[in-house]
Amino acid sequence: MASASQDAMNKMQVRQSYRNLWHTDLMSTMQADLPYCCFALWCAPCASYLLRKRALYNDMTRYVCCAGYMPCSGRCGESRCPEFCLCTEVFLCFGNSVASTRFLLQDEFNIQTTQCDNCIIGFMVCLQQLACIFSIVAMIVGSSEISEASQLLNCLADFVYCTVCACMQTQHKVEMDKRDGVFGPPGVMAVPPMQHMSRLDQPVPPPVGYPPPYPAPQPYPAQPAYGQPYGYPPPQGYPPAGYPK
């Protein structure tokens, strides 16, 4: 068990070296697709359901609970009723469903998370933890001032959580638009095999993903020596055999 956990941690560390970037970062998702961002904010479970199904190329026979990242994955009867299991996941484990779709796309396309996105996600998690601590302290102390402060902090944490999740889901949608050729002709891409659904049990995919946005610069031709015409051979008899000293 310890060796399996260590192998999983090693693979997660290797995945931190992914080279590709999201088509849009979390700060730019509203500008990239404002209508879908509003849809993901007000109908978050529905957006999570549709995004996971689309990430599976609309093939629900490939569905595994939480995309294979949780201990319960593959043990919830997904093969018999995948649609019902996905509905249960997005409503009861909404945060895990969003994170699982994110990991699924990152592993498929070798996408790294930028430092800005990490700061936003970390701030959301820390704010939730702080709100939980304030609520526990308010319950123990019984102070009305601390109780009011904890309620305000809880409201702020919920607002940040809903906003970040909506931006995350919009980021996933824009990335799949890029995958499916909405922004241009799609690249040659096949549906990944079934075993890629359980990412921690599989080797790290090769660093391919999307090609760079610009072609590699071509080296400049060698420059002629000073005094020689560029691009033409030297004339016959030049330079002379020697100069008088």
Please give the pLDDT value at position 1: 45
Any alpha helices (H) in the chain, and if so which ranges? 2-14, 29-32, 34-42, 44-55, 82-92, 94-109, 115-141, 144-179
As given in the structure block, the two tokens for residue 85 are 């299991």
Whole-angstrom distance, CA of residue 72 vs CA of residue 123: 28
Whole-angstrom distance, CA of residue 76 vs CA of residue 4: 22
72 by DSSP, 3-state: which?
coil
Whole-angstrom distance, CA of residue 117 vs CA of residue 37: 16
Q: Which residue has the higher pLDDT, 244 or 60?
A: 60
State yes or no: pLDDT of 102 exceeds 70: yes
DSSP 158-199: HHHHHHHHHHHHHHHHHHHHHHTTTTSSPPS--PPPGGGGSG
CA dihedral 132, 127, 49, 11 (to 10 degrees): -100
Tens digit of each residue's pLDDT (9 = 90 or more) over 123-171: 999 998 998 898 888 888 888 888 888 889 999 999 999 999 999 999 9
Query: For 65-74, 78-87, 213-222, which range has the lowest pLDDT when averaged over its residues?
Result: 213-222
Please give the pLDDT value at position 201: 45
Tens digit of each residue's pLDDT (9 = 90 or more) over 168-197: 999 999 999 999 888 766 554 455 555 444
Q: What is the mean pLDDT of residues 112-117?
A: 85
Whole-angstrom distance, CA of residue 115 vs CA of residue 50: 28
Query: For 23-27, 54-58, 241-245, which range has the lowest pLDDT when averaged over its residues?
Result: 241-245
Indicate the length of the chain as a whole number: 245
Between CA 119 and CA 128, with CA 125 as vertex, the angle to 5 degrees is: 140
Nearest Cα neighbor of 197 from 73, 111, 109 is 73
pLDDT band at 10 (very low <50, low <70, confident <90, very high): low
Tens digit of each residue's pLDDT (9 = 90 or more) over 26-55: 999 999 999 999 999 999 999 999 999 999
Helices 94-109, 82-92: inter-axial angle, 10-degree rounding: 110
Q: Taking all residues of the chain, what is their mean pLDDT, rounded to a whole number?
A: 78
Chain centre to alpha carbon of residue 127: 22
Query: For 59-63, 65-69, 114-118, 227-231, which range has the lowest pLDDT when averaged over its residues?
Result: 227-231
